[in-house]
């Protein structure tokens, strides 16, 4: 029997497969739609496509690792996150620039650094390099920096003063506040209390990535389409 094939009864493995297909499909969609919107939005659309492309590649590997090795693909998952999550934060900055909002480079760096601190702290704790509690604290500090910047910081103020991106920005930051809350909750219940097993933790993370990465890109696409249509009829 070839154990590299996914069993239909392997629910977690099936979620890895579904997410990988969804990410590939989203990549094609974002790249194609990027050619149809105003040039000033194309960078944002390309980055949205890159996020789902990177995730698709990693989900293919994570599915294979899960099926063959039978363990959680912790390293692959965090490599995916350390690449894609900062790009998601860059999107906040890019859509503000695309809409002509006044935002400085310091906002970009706060979002980027906060994201890296969050992801790297979580990995160090989950990989056992530092204590699970310390990893959680470091990760939450990084998340707090992001939340502050997009709800109260310069990025938030710039979005509020620009009608073209206000609705998309608000939707995207809700993804970060609500959608991303799944990850620290999974960390707590899976690693700190042990009340959630590895199977459950993996499919929860898979579902969270499916929703958060694709939905994030769709909000950017909707803002780009709306702004492009507005320019065409103005």
Render pLDDT for 42-99 as a digit per residue (tens, 0 to 9): 999 999 999 999 999 999 999 999 999 989 999 999 999 999 999 999 998 888 887 7
**pLDDT classification of 1: cutoffs 50, 70, 90:** very low
The pLDDT value recorded for residue 227 is 85
Region 9-33: mean pLDDT is 95
pLDDT tens-digit profile of 142-158? 999 999 999 998 888 88
Provide φ and ψ at 131, rounded to 5°: -65, 150
Of 213, 174, 193, 160, the C-alpha closest to 25 is 213
At residue 176, the 3 state secondary structure works out as helix
CA atoms within 13 A on the CB side of 65: 15
Euclidean distance between CA atoms 29 and 212, whole angstroms: 16
Q: What's the pLDDT at 161?
A: 74
Task: Give the whole-angstrom CA distance, residue 94 versus residue 109.
Answer: 13
Which string of b and e fits 114-133 if b means at least 16 CB within 10 Å? bbebbbbbbbbbbeeebebe
Sign of CA dihedral 208, 123, 25, 221: positive
Percent of the chain with pLDDT over 70: 98
Statement: residue 177 has pLDDT above 80: yes
* Cα distance between the two ends of the chain: 63
Question: Given pLDDT bands bounded at 50, 70 and 90, which one contains residue 4?
Answer: low
Average pLDDT of the residues in 131-147: 96
Q: How many degrees, rounded to 5, is the angle at CA 62 between CA 19 and CA 83?
A: 80
CA distance 165 to 137: 32
Model confidence at 168, in pLDDT bands (50, 70, 90)? Answer: confident
Q: What is the DSSP letter of 6?
A: P
- Mean pLDDT for the stretch of residues 117-135: 96
In this prediction the pTM is: 0.92
**Residue 233 banded pLDDT, cuts 50, 70, 90:** confident
Residue 3 above 80 pLDDT?
no
For domain 11-224, the CATH architecture is Up-down Bundle (1.20)
Please give the angle made by the CA atoms of 108, 110 and 116, to the nearest 5 degrees: 100
pLDDT for 155: 86
Closest CA to 29 of 232, 173, 225: 225
């Amino acid at each position: 029997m070839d154990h590299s094939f996914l069993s239909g009864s392997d629910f977690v493995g099936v979620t890895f497969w579904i997410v990988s297909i969804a990410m590939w499909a989203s990549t094609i969609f974002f790249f194609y739609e990027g050619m149809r919107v105003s040039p000033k939005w194309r960078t944002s659309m390309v980055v949205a496509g890159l996020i789902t492309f990177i995730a698709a590649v990693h989900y293919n590997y994570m599915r294979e690792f899960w099926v063959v090795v039978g363990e959680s693909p912790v390293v692959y998952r965090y490599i995916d996150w350390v690449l894609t999550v900062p790009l998601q934060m860059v999107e906040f900055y890019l859509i503000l620039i695309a809409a002509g909002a006044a935002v400085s480079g310091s906002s970009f760096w706060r979002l980027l650094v906060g994201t890296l601190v969050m992801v790297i702290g979580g990995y160090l704790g989950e990989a056992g390099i530092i204590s699970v509690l310390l990893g959680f604290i470091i990760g939450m500090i990084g998340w707090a920096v992001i939340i502050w910047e997009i709800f109260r910081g310069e990025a938030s103020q710039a979005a509020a003063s620009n009608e073209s991106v206000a609705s998309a920005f608000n939707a995207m930051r809700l993804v970060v506040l609500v959608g991303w809350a799944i990850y620290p909750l999974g960390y707590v219940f899976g690693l700190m209390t042990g009340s959630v097993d590895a199977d459950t933790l993996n499919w929860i993370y898979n579902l969270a990535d499916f929703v958060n990465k694709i939905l994030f890109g769709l909000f950017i696409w909707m803002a780009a389409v709306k702004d492009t249509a507005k320019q065409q009829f103005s």
